[in-house]
Amino acid sequence: MPEDLMVVCRSEDPAYGRTVPPVSTVSLGPEQAGTAAVDALVSLVEDPPHTPPPVVIGTRLEVRVSSMRRGRRDGA
């Protein structure tokens, strides 16, 4: 069954790269998201009828063995 499953975790922790097998992770940019949220809140408090513009936060996928098909793991 392990060959049938691929695993990806949402995390900022680099320790996932040292597990067996190394686990792929998705970073949702928590620092940027927090900053954008605070900026939007301040904007709403200072100008209540104003709607802050949408903010796009970049994400990052760190591909590791846990989300690779068997042929790619073996270098095929």
No. of helices (H) and no. of strands (E), the chain = 2, 3
Looking at residue 51, its pLDDT comes to: 87
Looking at residue 37, its pLDDT comes to: 95
70: Cβ contacts below 8 Å, ≥ 6 apart: 3
Looking at residue 5, its pLDDT comes to: 86
Looking at residue 18, its pLDDT comes to: 96
3-state secondary structure of 40: helix
Each of the 76 residues of the chain gets a pLDDT tens digit; together they read 567 789 999 999 999 999 999 999 999 999 999 999 999 999 999 998 888 889 999 999 999 999 998 776 666 5
Domain-wise residue ranges, the chain = 2-73
